[in-house]
Structure formats: structure tokens, C-alpha cells
Amino acid sequence: MDPPSLRIGTSGFSYPEWKPAFYPKGLPQRSFLEYYAGVLPTVEINATFYRLQAEKTFRGWLGAVPDEFRFVVKAHRGLTHTRALPGPQHVGTGGLLDGFLDSLAPLAGRIGAMLVQLPPTREQDEPALDGLLAALGGSGVPLAVELRHESWLHPQIADRIAGGGATLCLADVTGEVPERLPPGPIAYVRLRADRYTQEQRAGWLELLRREADSRPVFAFAKHEGTPADDPFSGIGLARWFVSAQR
């Protein structure tokens, strides 16, 4: 068995196209999360990126999953995709930053991490990123940062983020297994290669297990563009990882 700190899921759960390979044919969409949580231990929530969620939505989600299930929320796009990133000076001003953090209160204790995803057009600006992470750090939720502009591709960036109490998200698109994951309080991986070979799949599982010996690890397979019954990509890959842990 793997350490309880290793959690593997997918980016989202509300996909009718996963029928009938994952969700049973007659399962109503309102029951998707309950079924999903019976198979996988975590999910990356995209809805929080687009809009603030109502308390009743979160309460409904909590009622559909076991206590050990963990949600990962994506930071609102109004915080990550604006011309200027908000910082600590925006805390307590009643703006979007406060509204977003307050909206997460119903999930207290059940959020495994927050994904702070900057757009591909956001060039390297370390002080601005430091400020955003400091502002979001008030939530008490572990932060993972996905940087998608090539100007961020320097080894010291991962160390700087870890020094600020967060973790650089590793978004894999090649399938190749690195020697280690970026430093930080947690490890966070998005498995985005089109398809993993049997050797790559086994290598990733070994790496995730090893990293989970010392810190919580979250890994998420992609949700689109792959058959739900393919054990080498997408939801099928996530299911394989979880079954291999047993």
C-alpha cells in the first residue's frame, strides 16, 4: 500500500463522455461526484477558476464524498489572468481576492491544495508572483504554481517558490520521468502527455510513491481527448495508478 499522502485523480469529474467506460450508462450527472469519489481520492476543480461558487454547491460536494477525499481548487482567473497580479495589499479591501478566499470557507479542512495557474502570456515577474503567493497564503491551503511562459524556465524559480512556502507544479507533456519533483511543502504533477507507455507509467508511479514518503503528493491526469477506458492516459491512467497502490 502507498502512503496516505499520495493522491491521484483527474482534472474535473463532470464529463458525460466518460459513459459508459467509467460512469455507468444510467448514472445521472448529479451522482457523478459520488461515483468518482468511490474510485479516486482527489479531484482538481476547474469551476473555481471561472466563478465564485455558492456555499450550497460546496456543501453538496462535501455530502457526496468520504471524509478522506480531498478537493484541489484552482485560483480564480481574476487573480491570475489580470494585467497586474494582486498582492498582500489587496487583502481586507473587500475585492475579488477576499471574496474568493471567503468562498472557500465551506471546504475548510477538505482542500488538499490550490493550483495557481498563470496564463501562457504571463512573462517572468518574480516579485509579482511573490506578492500573489503571499496574498493567497492567508488561506492556509498549500499552494502549487503552474508557470506556462518560457521565460520562467530557470532552475532557481522552483527554489524561490519553495522558499516562499509554495511548490512549482510540474506539467508533464513528454511522458519522461524526472529524477525528482520540484521542492516545496507538497508535490504537484499534471500528467498531460497524450499517452504514457507501460514503462513510463510504472516509472511515474515509482517516483510518486518515493516523493510521498516525505510530503503530500497530488497528481492529476488530463480529462480530454482520450477514451475513458484507456489505462495509459486520462481517467483510465488515474484508475490504473490507484489500483496499483492496493
Rounded to the nearest integer, the mean pLDDT of the chain is 94
**pLDDT under 70: residue ranges of the chain:** 1-4
pLDDT for the residue 138: 83
How many other CB atoms sit within 10 Å of the CB of residue 20?
Answer: 11
Q: Which helix (H) or strand (E) holds 144?
A: strand 143-146
> Are 5 and 215 a contacting pair, CB within 8 Å?
yes
pLDDT for the residue 4: 54
pLDDT for the residue 226: 87
- Predicted TM-score (pTM) of the model is 0.94
How many other CB atoms sit within 10 Å of the CB of residue 244?
Answer: 14
Q: Which listed CATH number (3.30.950.10, 1.20.120.80, 3.20.20.410, 3.40.50.10800) goes with 6-245?
A: 3.20.20.410
How many other CB atoms sit within 10 Å of the CB of residue 45?
Answer: 22
Q: Which residue has the cell 510521498?
A: 212
Q: Which residue has the cell 507509467?
A: 201
* Domain residue extents for the chain: 6-245
pLDDT tens column, 23-39: 999 999 999 999 999 99
Q: Which residue has the cell 504533477?
A: 189
